[in-house]
Amino acid sequence: MIKFHYYIPIILQKIGCVVFFTLYKIFVRIEIHGKENLSNLSAPVLLAANHTSELDVTAIPLVLPFFSSFFPIYFVSNKTEKYKTFGWRSYIYGGVFFNLLGAYAVHSGRQNYAWALNDHMKLLRKGKTICIFPEGKRTRNGVMNPARGGLGFMAYTASATVVPIAIDTFFNISMWDFFTFQRKVVITIGKPMSSKEVVSVKNPRVADFQHGSQIVLDKIAEMLEYSHEEY
């Protein structure tokens, strides 16, 4: 049985909040909007964001108040084998290192959400906070990928509240962009969605879970469009 860490992820995430908020505030002029939408949330909570870059996971903890009871955030990640093409990072990505940061991999091979997300469902049933990228992978061209069904399944099965988060954007950011103040990143926290808003049908099937995830992703797309116009 997998061991879920608590103290190490919460300590590392709090340290990360201080470090990354400082860096992002200085170099990418990060702005976070919509924190009022986190008021009066009830556990369990699913944070759902578009996936623009590996840096997204460093920014997600910044949306919560520093002393929020929703820490630590547990992330849905890929298996270690998926990171083999990540160069030097492939030696540390995945496995125990990710577990200590609060990330747990999906179980693949059975085409079954309950099996694939078994560890994350255990965490949700304990009232923990999960972050998932509904697309299942980073965008390769700046355009969001279609949603996969994992988010819809977890929201429905755990009766979890879903908080859509729009990240605009770390896509294709280079070291030059970063350290020469060439990029501005705006993160927008949307209004929470109940599990019934995500999946409204009884006895849902795979297509219903995928549709529910897409509903959330479409909401994120609307938030991104508004972000472009407003900021």
Domains along the chain with CATH numbers = 7-230 (3.40.1130.10)
Query: What is the structure's pLDDT at 231?
Result: 61
| pLDDT at residue number 1 | 54
Q: Are 196 and 161 in contact (CB under 8 A)?
A: no
pTM for this predicted structure: 0.94
d(C-alpha 119, C-alpha 140), whole Å:
28
With beta carbons less than 8 A apart as the criterion, state whether 71 and 129 touch: yes
Residue 95 confidence (pLDDT): 86
For helices 206-230 and 150-158, angle between their N-to-C axes, nearest 10 degrees: 110
Give the pLDDT score at 79.
Answer: 84
Looking at the predicted structure, is the pLDDT value of residue 230 above 70? no
Beta-carbon contacts of 211 under 8 Å, excluding residues fewer than 6 positions away, are: 152, 199
CA angle 117, 93, 212 (to 5 degrees): 30
44 vs 78, residue with greater confidence:
44
pLDDT mean over 74-93: 85
| Cα torsion 46, 31, 224, 144: sign | negative
Q: Give mean pLDDT, residues 117-133.
A: 97
Span 134-193, pLDDT tens digits: 999 999 999 999 999 999 999 999 999 999 999 999 999 999 999 999 999 999 999 999
Give the sign of the dihedral formed by CA 204, CA 210, CA 211, CA 213. positive
The percent of residues in the chain predicted with pLDDT above 70, rounded, is 97
Confidence of residue 84 (pLDDT cuts 50, 70, 90): confident
